[in-house]
């Protein structure tokens, strides 16, 4: 049970780190590919939200590691 939980939180950490990078790619390509300022704002904010989700997931992994509920 514990081992399964550890594997799960490790997967959460990896997914969180991947989301951090994916969010940045969203905002980078919004800048490069889009010309409309409004669309750029929308995609940059979406990218930031994806990053915040990733940050929360990495934090969740470490919260579990310190004995908190995941």
Partner 1 sequence: MMLADEPIAVLCIVLISMLPLALAGLALLNTGLGRSRSASQSLMGAMLAVSVAAVIFCVIGFSFAGFQGMTSYSLSLGSARLDWIGATGMFFGGLHWDGSLPGYAAAFEVFAVGLAAIIPWGSGADRWRLRAVGMASVLIGGLLFPLFAHWVWGGGWLASLGSSFQIGAGFVDPGGAATIQAFGGLTALVVVWLLGPRSGKFSGSSVPRAIPGHHMIFVLLGCMLMLPGWLAFNLLGATLYAGTTPQMLVPVAINTLFCAAMALMAALFITRIRFGKPDVSLCANGWVAGLVTSSAVAAFATPAEAMIAGTLIGGALPWLVELLEVHARIDDPSGAIVVHGFAGIWGLFAVGFMGSFPPGQMLAQLIGIGTLLGVMLPLIYGCFWLLNKVFPFRTSPEGEQVGMDLHELGAGAYPEFVIYGDDFLPR
d(C-alpha 62, C-alpha 70), whole Å: 9
x/- letters, 1..40, toward partner 1 (CB under 8 A): ----------------x--xx-xxx-x---xx----x--x
- Per DSSP, helices labelled H in the chain are 2-33, 37-65
Q: Are 47 and 19 in contact (CB under 8 A)?
A: no
Task: Tell me the two tokens of residue 11.
Answer: 């997967």
Of 5 and 52, which CB lies nearer to partner 1 in the complex structure? 52
**Which residues contact partner 1 (rule: CB under 8 A)?**
17, 20-21, 23-25, 27, 31-32, 37, 40-41, 44-45, 47-48, 51-52, 55, 58-59, 62-63, 65-68
């Amino acid at each position: 049970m514990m081992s399964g939980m550890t594997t799960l939180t490790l997967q959460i950490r990896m997914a969180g780190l991947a989301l951090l990078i994916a969010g940045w790619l969203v905002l980078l390509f919004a800048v490069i590919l889009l010309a409309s300022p409004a669309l750029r704002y929308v995609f940059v904010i979406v990218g930031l939200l994806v990053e915040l989700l990733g940050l929360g997931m990495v934090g969740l992994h470490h919260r579990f590691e310190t004995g908190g509920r995941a």
